[in-house]
Amino acid sequence: MAEALLQVEELSVAYGQVEAVRGVSLHVARGQIATVIGPNGAGKTTLLGAIMGLLPSRGAIRFAGDRIDGRDTEALVRRGISLVPERRELFADMTVQENLELGGFSRRRAGESRAALANTMEEVFALFPRLKERLPQLAGTLSGGERQMLAVGRALMGKPKLLLLDEPSLGLAPLITRDILHTISRLRESGLSVLLIEQNARAALQTADYGYVLETGELSLEGEADRLLHDERVIATYLGRH
Amino acid sequence: MDSTIVALLAQDGLTNGSIYCLLALALVLVFAVTRVIFVPQGEFVVYAALTMASFDGARTPGTVWLLLALGGAAWLADTVKLRREPRRMALAWLATAAPCVAAAGLVAWVAASKAPFVVQALTTVLAVTAMGPAVYRLAFQPVASASVLVLLIVAVALHFVLTGLALLFFGAEGVRTPAFTSASFSFGNITVSGQSLLVYAFTAVLIVVMAVFFRYALFGKALRATAANRTGARLVGISPDFAGRLCFTLAAAIGAVSGLLIGPITTVYYDSGFLIGLKGFVGAIVGGLVSYPIAAGGALFVGLVESFSSFWASAYKEVLVFTLIIPVLLWRSLSTTHSDEEE
């Protein structure tokens, strides 16, 4: 197995008395896609929120060998982690161009040039040509698929080493979902590591290298994605028989 | 009432209205970015006017001690909070405590050296602007994610603290600063004072600068992004602390300029800030605390109402101004659907 870029050990997250995530340990290898599948309410989004520093958690989180639990979200962005949240969280009354520019905010503050950002923006356009056509449009007026492209594009503008994706297929037509997952596979080839959270288990396992099954806050199963695709329990619960 | 009086009142109204307009814009900015209804905005105005008056009277302004107190408190807060992260601690010092101490030194030096008027004015703006990030650090950063109500209560408390400090460091005496210019211009039978024209010009320039800043500058866009979506802003690396400090710096700067402009027009006391700020607030409410242009228009209207009502019913001047808020609130409560507070 390749070296782990992200390593989560015994992570627990509680909302008051309720533990939404309990003792979860997982890792994302460098240059690979790992996925966490599971039903609604299993704690998948909570898990990503905790990794990204948006929610307080217990347990250890390591990124490239360094402990990052307890660090600010902004510090993690600077370290090279980007989250594309389930709700996209775009700047609705700003243009597509401004959304993308702000995606590079940390890099600009770290002293990178406008030209470097323009290059990254061209790379984003190569992945999502539609965004280039929509540059002057307000983000709030985009279609669902375009918003998802913009959310991923904005995250990529930060040149992350690790991309956390929360339900990229949510509310999208199957064809668009396929496009977006296909784009994510292409990103892996450029060296990006991805942690993908998905309800659409089949699409997720087909895209990923390694998979985890999260049920009511605990991991119940893990393994190579190919193997999980043929696992009896996964088929019965998440994939359905054909 | 003849046309000369109308022109005079309109001129007065627009002059005050321009200043309220600047304050309204600052209030909208602070609320949009941090959700704080910034009651003490007027205190920055007062500090600027009082500082300028001290310079004029060849005294060392109490601003020096005020800045040292704010800077010292901010330094202590950051030192305690970040004692295990020396790098972040140093950065925090640079962002809040250091500007206060530097500004205190500058004010003391300018007071001692009897510098020319322009230098005094610039120093005043710098000194009051330096208070912005320190005030944010001390009062709002620790409770940044609290509800709007808690933030409002903190803002009211801060207002009392800042008014008290003004009394302590500047005394109870009212001041009037010298006019920037004594020139006046006649258009037919209407005379417009140079001071009024300066106020209009400053206001217009400041509004244009702000518009350009928010439209084109990276930090301006970062503030708009934070106002639009706090979580989204954090996810691209804009920290709420950074955005808060930045918008309080701007609000303090706007307050400082307003103080310089209003100083020669009205007598300013240590506690004048509340009423001045409140009039800006009425303008901001007209804009629903979100729309910059409507807030600006509302504030100009407040200035005009104030000026005309002081002619017709001077005893009811303030009452009439604040009554303006009732129809606006009524209309808003009928036309807007209720939405739960965004968290």
Supply the CATH number for residue A230's domain: 3.40.50.300
Residue A110 and residue A230 in one domain: no
Q: Are residues A166 and A154 in the same domain?
A: no
Contact in structure between A131 and A125 (CB atoms under 8 Å): yes
CB contact under 8 A, A89 and B232: yes
Same domain? For A75 and A13 the reply is yes
Q: Between these two residues, B184 and A94, which has the higher pLDDT value?
A: A94
When the pLDDT of each residue in chain B is averaged and rounded to a whole number, the result is: 90
Confidence (pLDDT) at B341: 47
| Residue A233 in this model has a pLDDT that exceeds 50 | yes
Q: Do A74 and A19 sit in the same domain of this protein?
A: yes
Judging contacts by C-beta atoms under 8 Å, the chain A residues touching residue B231 are 54, 85, 89
* Strand-pair category, A66-67 with B184-187: unpaired
Cβ–Cβ below 8 Å for A93 and B228: yes
Residue B196 near residue B14, CB atoms below 8 Å:
yes
- The average pLDDT across B179-183 equals 84
Find the closest chain B residue to A92 by CA distance: B228
Q: Is B194 helix (H, G, I), strand (E, B) or coil?
A: helix
Residues 6+ apart with CB under 8 A from B55: B61, B110, B111, B120, B123, B124
In this predicted structure, what is the pLDDT of residue B1?
67
- Do A101 and A13 have their domain in common? no
Q: Is residue B66 included in any domain, yes or no?
A: yes
A177 versus B46: which is more confidently predicted? B46
* Closest-CA distance of chain A to residue B281, Å: 24
Domain match, A66 and A170 both: yes
Retrieve residue A30's tokens: 């460098």
Structural domain includes residue B342: no
Find tokens 């007071």 and name the residue. Answer: B111
Residue B120 has pLDDT above 60, yes or no: yes
User: Which two tokens mark A157?
Assistant: 């503008």
pLDDT at B343: 40
**Which is higher by pLDDT, B215 or A242?**
B215
Q: How far apart are CA A34 and CA B297, in angstroms?
A: 54
CB contact under 8 Å between B239 and A91, yes or no, is: no
> Which whole-number Å values give the CA distances from A128 to A173, A180, A196, in the listed order?
16, 9, 19
B227-262: pLDDT as tens digits: 889 999 999 999 999 999 999 999 999 999 999 999
Domain count, chain B: 1
Residue B340 lies in a domain: no
Element (H, E) at B27: helix B3-34
Does residue A85 sit within a domain? Answer: no
* DSSP label at residue B178: P
C-alpha torsion B292→B298→B299→B302, nearest 10: -170
Q: Which residue has the higher pLDDT, A84 or B5?
A: A84
Cβ contacts below 8 Å, chain A against chain B, sum to 68
At A189-209, the pLDDT tens digits run 888 999 999 888 888 999 999
Cα A151 to the chain's mean position, in Å? 10
Question: CB contact, 8 Å: B236 with chain A?
Answer: yes
A8: β partners:
A26, A61
Tokens of B130: 């330096």
**What counts of helices (H) and strands (E) characterise chain A?**
11, 10
The parent domain of residue A142 ranges over: 92-159
Q: What is the pLDDT of residue A103?
A: 96
pTM: 0.88
**CB proximity A118 to B under 8 Å:** no
Same domain, A154 and A164: no
In chain A, residues with a C-beta closer than 8 Å to the C-beta of B239 are 72-74
Q: Identity (one letter) of the amino acid at B8?
A: L
Confidence of residue A137 (pLDDT cuts 50, 70, 90): very high
Interchain contact, B238 vs A105, CB within 8 Å: yes
Domain count for chain A: 2
Q: Do B228 and A92 touch (CB under 8 A)?
A: yes
pLDDT tens digits, residue range B267-309?
999 999 999 999 999 888 887 777 788 888 889 999 999 999 9
What is the number of helices (H) and of strands (E) in chain B?
15, 2
pLDDT digits (tens, 9 = 90+) for B190-206: 788 888 898 999 899 98
Q: Would you say B17 and B302 are in contact if contact means Cβ atoms under 8 Å apart?
A: yes
Given a cut of 70, whether residue A25 has pLDDT beyond it is yes
In a domain, B42, yes or no: yes
User: Closest Cα to residue A83, out of A70, A74, A95?
Assistant: A74
pLDDT at A1 over 60: no
In a domain, B17, yes or no: yes
Residue B133 lies in a domain: yes
CB contacts under 8 A, B 239-298 vs A, are 239, 242
User: Out of B231, B236, B239, whose CB is closest to A102?
Assistant: B236
Q: What is the mean pLDDT of chain A?
A: 91
Task: Give pLDDT, residue B242.
Answer: 92
pLDDT of residue B6: 87
Place of tokens 């990178």: A112
Determine the distance from the C-alpha atom of residue B224 to the mean position of all C-alpha atoms in its chain, rounded to a whole number: 19
pLDDT at A160 over 80: yes
Is B231 close to A72, i.e. CB distance below 8 A? no
Task: Please name the residue of chain B whose CA is at the shortest distance from the CA of residue A84.
Answer: B235
In terms of domains, do A184 and A234 share one?
Answer: yes
Domain annotation covers residue A87: no
- At A120, which helix (H) or strand (E)? helix A114-127
pLDDT band, residue B106 (cuts 50/70/90): very high
B205 vs B289: CA distance, rounded Å: 22
Residue A143 sits in the same domain as residue A174:
no
Residues A177 and A66 in one domain: yes
Say whether both A182 and A215 belong to one domain.
yes
Rounded to a whole number of angstroms, the distance from the CA of B221 to the nearest CA of chain A is 7
Per the structure, the complete domain to which residue B232 belongs is given by: 3-335
Specify the pLDDT at position B338.
60
CA A184 to chain centre: 10
Residue A80, chain B, CB below 8 Å: the answer is no
* Per-residue confidence (pLDDT) for residue A178, from 0 to 100: 84
Q: What is the mean pLDDT of residues B114-142?
A: 94
Position A241 confidence tier, pLDDT thresholds 50, 70, 90: low
DSSP state, residue A88: -
Any domain includes A29? yes
Q: B81, B216, B219, B235: best mutation site toward chain A, by most A Cβ within 10 Å? A: B235
In a mutagenesis test of the A interface, which of B33, B215, B221, B236 is the best target, namely the one with the most A β-carbons within 10 Å?
B236
Residue B276 CA: distances (Å) to CA of B115, B167, B270: 29, 17, 12
CB contact under 8 A, B237 and A109: yes
d(CA A199, CA A221): 15
- Stretch A138-145: mean pLDDT: 92
**Residues A84/A151, Cβ–Cβ less than 8 Å:** yes
Per-residue confidence (pLDDT) for residue B342, from 0 to 100 = 45
Please give the backbone phi and psi of residue A93, each rounded to the nearest 5 degrees, phi first.
-95, 25
3-state secondary structure B39-92: CCHHHHHHHHHHHHHHHHCCCCCCHHHHHHHHHHHHHHHHHHHCCCCHHHHHHH
Q: What phi and psi, each to the nearest 5 degrees, are found at residue A196?
A: -110, 125
- Does the residue B21 lie in any domain? yes
B138-180: pLDDT as tens digits: 999 999 889 999 999 999 999 999 999 999 999 999 988 888 8
- Residues A41, A99, single domain; the answer is no
Contact A91 B218 (CB under 8 A): no
